[in-house]
A and B are shown apart, each in its own frame.
Chain A
């Protein structure tokens, strides 16, 4: 990691307070310049379908067959205001907790339960398809559990379920993702009964 400077000193103190046993990851550092700012890019969004097609083609590989759904998704109305919704977080950035078995990267379809009070410095990532540097510096980049806890404290959302789900979403086989991963997450929903599921892919 290049130069990260300690800009938000107050935030950093709060973070380091929770790093009682500490570890080698410098959680809480920020970049020298803000990376995300208000506004809109003048360029079109990156088209990863086309980018992947071009990459595979230039390497002489067969085209990856992306899944497609043309029919409308089933719609379950959100009947409560946000301030009364209990939210369950499902993140596919390969999030696991220190002590759990990490994900492998060859179509790992398993899930990890992340307790809602898990300290941020115990969250880890195991994935192959994105640069994990920033997510390992600050897991909230891809798994906003700390920010959700803050929104619950401020009353923006009603609350959080007792545990949440992490999995490794880089599953090439959509058949396996739907047959193996989806039921595990659904089972957690039946158990936790969230009013709203927040999904964060990477």
Chain B
């Protein structure tokens, strides 16, 4: 849904006069909503602009993506960037990719990583209406801010909207 939201928002920004380039790692979702300029990286979700710690490759992917997007002249077109994930096993069950599954070789319900499970179980994360802090320290830090006086989105770090 992220790719859908971003694709639709890109269309709105462009219609308001702001040129956009969008990365995507979900090609079929992107082509369905047709944002103005897209560059596709064929990797598991969670790596739209690269893999952890691979700074040189990340910089090259970003440069390639920006340059390819900049050259586009056809509205709604998607450019495929010349990169791939180290192996293709994740494509057997792309919705279930996780770092731990790739490292351990087994899927979320004990299935073999790289094989499509025979029966599917609901392994999706529950959606919650409370803030989902990455660290407890983040919650404490946010709680310490007086939100009555400060903008909730910018922490006073940037000019308020």
Chain A positions near chain B (C-beta within 8 angstroms) = 1-4, 7-8, 11, 23-25, 28-31, 33-43, 45-52, 54-55, 58-59, 66-70, 72-78, 81-82, 90, 92-94, 97-107, 110-113, 115, 118, 124-138, 140-144, 147-148, 150-151, 156-157, 162-163, 169-172, 174, 177-178, 181-182, 184-189, 191, 194-202
Contacts and interface: CB of A to CB of B under 8 A. Distances in A.
Contacts of A163: 154, 157-159
B51 A36 contact: yes
Interface string B100-122: 10011000000000000001101
A157 B66 contact: yes
B100 A30 contact: no
Contacts of A107: 127
Nearest to A100: B155
Interface of B: 1-29, 32-36, 40-55, 57-59, 61-63, 66-67, 70, 75-76, 80, 82-86, 88, 90-91, 94-95, 97-100, 103-104, 119-120, 122, 124-135, 137-139, 141-142, 145, 147, 152-155, 157-159, 161
Nearest to A183: B12
Contacts of B46: 93, 130-135, 141-142, 202
